[in-house]
Amino acid sequence: MSNLTQHSFNISKLDREKLHQHKAFLIWFTGLSGSGKSTIANALELKLNKLNISTYALDGDNIRLGICKDLTFSIKHRTENIRRVAEIANLFIDAGIVTLASFISPNAKDRELVRQTVGDDFYVEVYVSTSLEECEKRDVKGLYLKARSGEIKNMTGISAPYEVPNRPDIIINTETDTLNDSVEKILNYIRNKLYG
């Protein structure tokens, strides 16, 4: 590492933001599996696209099928998974792109690492606070059933803890908030960040 030097380029994040005509930042969706993180992120990205906002979505499953396919679900590997995602998100922000990331990210210290990596001013935390009972009812991927039968170890909410965010920017409860209401709530929050 001592032989590495940070290289500076002539085009900056500010130049890229001027090109895109909006600011760039990270919207981090956290919550239990099945809470609705990816569904909300997808609907929000569609809305942003219609507003001519340059976006990119990072999703837990998609990342684990590619750049993090060498990782397990141990605590150490979960932290490494989130560290890699934070660095990827940081690159997208530097490229002038609004980045949406949907990750269970159960550990507060890992979410704080993301915040520190991209910078507090460029981090918006959305806590999708759907209850475990509702997530189990949905069980879209069949993971809770497998976890309850012992087939899956380290399942967040069952055999592994989820640390509720203590200072999320936005809280969404998909048991009471409609998809449209959830998207509007986020849009209202980020509007000044986009153009301010």
How would you class 10 by CB atoms within 10 Å of its CB: exposed for 0-12, middle for 13-18, buried for 19 or more?
exposed
| Positions marked active-site | 105
